Structure 1
Amino acid sequence: MNDPIPLFTYSTTLLELISFVLSVITVALNIRQLHWAWLFSILASGLYAAVFFDARLYGDMGLQFVFIVVSIWGWWVWLRGHGGQDALPVSRLTSKGRLIALAACLLAFGLLAWFLKAYTDTDVPYADGFLTAGSLLGQVLLSRKKIENWHVWILVDILYVALYVYKGLMLTALLYGIFVVMAIMGLRTWSKACPQ
C-alpha cells in the first residue's frame, strides 16, 4: 500500500489516498457535529500513522496514536455530554481556559521539539514539535466541543500545508489546504450554535 501511484501531476500511495478520503469525511462530519466523525477519525489516524512513519515525521506519527485515544474519548463525550447528561453543547473557553491551553501547548511544543531533535532522525524537529503540540490542543478542544478548536485548526493546518509540501507529501498538503477551508466553515457553523 506504500508503492507510489500517480495522481494528476503528483505521486502518492494508496495508503495516503485512503487516509486523505477518510480525513475529509471526518472533518465534514465534525462540522455537522455528528458523532460518527470519531469512527472515521480513528480509521484515518491509524492509516496516517504509517504514512508519517514513512516520511520520518515521528511527531505526527505519534500524534495519530494520541488521536485514536482522544477520538474514543471524544466519541464518548459527544454522546454522553457533560456528567452523563444530554449531548455536549458547543461552548467557549473562559479566559483562564485560554491561558491554560496556551501554556500547555507551549510546554508540549518544548518537550516534543527537544525529544524529536535528541532522539529521532527527523529533519524538522521544531516544525514537527510545534504542529504536533498544536494538533493535540485542537483535538482536545474539539473533543470538548470548544469553538476555539477551529481557530487552532486554521492556524495549524496552514502551517501543515507548508511542512507537507517540504516533505513531498503533496496529497496530504492538499488535504490540509482543504482542512483550512473546512475549519473556516466549521468555525462559522459552530458560531451559530454557540452562545456569546
Structure 2
Amino acid sequence: MSAEGWFQQLVQRWGTLSGWEITAVLLALVYLLLAVRQNRWCWVAALVSTAIFTALFWQVQLLMQSGLNIYYMGMALYGWWHWRHGSSGQGALPITRWRWRRHAQALGLIVLLAVISGFFLERHTGAAWPYLDSFITWGAVVTTFMVARKVLENWAYWMVINSLAIVLFLDRGMALTAALHAAYLVISVVGWISWHRDYRRHGHDPAPAAGPVTDKQ
C-alpha cells in the first residue's frame, strides 16, 4: 500500500471509529510514554487499554491478539507489583540486561510457539494471518515480561514486533491501531535511548559480559 493510500485509509477509519477504540488507543500511548519514564502508573493505563482491546480484536477475528490482551491484563497487575516491590525496599527497581544466551533462548521459544499455534490456527480456525499473528503474539508475551522485569532490551524486541504489527493491522482495516503501532515504533527508539542512559548513569557497563544465563533481578 502506498503512503497516500495508507493516509486515506487512516482518515476514513478515523471517521468510523468507536469511542472504545479511541479510548484504548489513547490509554495505550499513555502507558508507553509512562513506561519510558519508568513511572509505575503506566500499568494502570495498560490494564484499562488492554481490557478494551481484548473485545475489539475478538470482533475482527484476530484471535491471538485478543488472547494476548488477556495476558497483558495479568502482566499489568504483575508489572505494577514488581515495579513497586521488586527492589526490596532499595529505591526504584533498577534496569538490567539479559546475556546473549538468554536472548537466544527467548527467541527460540517465540519461534517455536509461533509455528505451533500458527499451524493450529491455520487448520482449525478462521484466523487471519495465523503465523504472523502468532509470532507477534508470542513475541509480545516474552517482551511484556521483559518490561515488567525492567530488562533494557525489551525496546529492541518491541521495534521488531511493532513493525510487523503495522502490516497486520493495516490488512485488517484497523488503520488507527496500525498508526498506534507506528507511534509505538518511534517511542520504542526513545525508550531504548532513555533506559540505556539510565542504565549507564548507574554505573553499568555498556553491555553484559558473556557468561551464564542469569536474570540479575
Q: With structure 2 as the length reference, what TM-score do the two structures score?
A: 0.83
1:109 to 1:82, Cα distance in 2 relative to 1, 3 A: farther
Partner SS, residue 12 of structure 1: coil
Is the alpha carbon distance of 1:87 and 1:127 closer, same or farther for their aligned partners in structure 2, counting shifts above 3 Å? same
Who is 2:141 aligned against? 136
Aligned CA-pair RMSD: 1.7
Q: Structure 1 stretch 80-89 or stretch 179-188: which is displaced more?
A: 80-89
1:85 positional shift = 4.9
Q: State whether residues 70 and 143 of structure 1, in contact with CA within 8 Å, keep that contact through their aligned partners in structure 2.
A: yes
Q: Which moved more, 1:13-22 or 1:60-69?
A: 13-22
1:29: which partner in 2?
34
Q: Which residue of 2 aligns with 1:179?
A: 184
User: Residue 118 in 1 paired to residue 123 in 2?
Assistant: yes
Aligned residues: 191
Give the AA of the match of 2:12: T
> 2:209 corresponds to which residue?
none
Percent identical: 27
Query: How far is 1:101 from its partner?
Result: 1.2
Residues 96/82 of structure 1: CA separation in 2 closer, same or farther (3 Å cut): farther
Q: Normalising to structure 1: TM-score of the pair?
A: 0.91
Residues 112 and 133 in structure 1, CA contact (< 8 A), matched pair in contact too: no
1:9 pairs with 2:12:
yes
CA distance in 2, matches of 1:85, 1:64: 32
> Unaligned stretches of 5+ in structure 1?
1-6
AA partner of residue 157 (structure 2) = V
Task: Summarize the alignment of residues 60-71 of structure 1 with structure 2, pairs less than 5 Å apart.
Answer: 60-71=65-76
Q: Separation in 2 of the partners of 1:165 and 1:56? A: 14
Counterparts of 1:174 and 1:151, CA distance in 2: 19
Q: How does 1:45-194 map to 2 (within 5 A)?
A: 45-82=50-87, 85-194=90-199
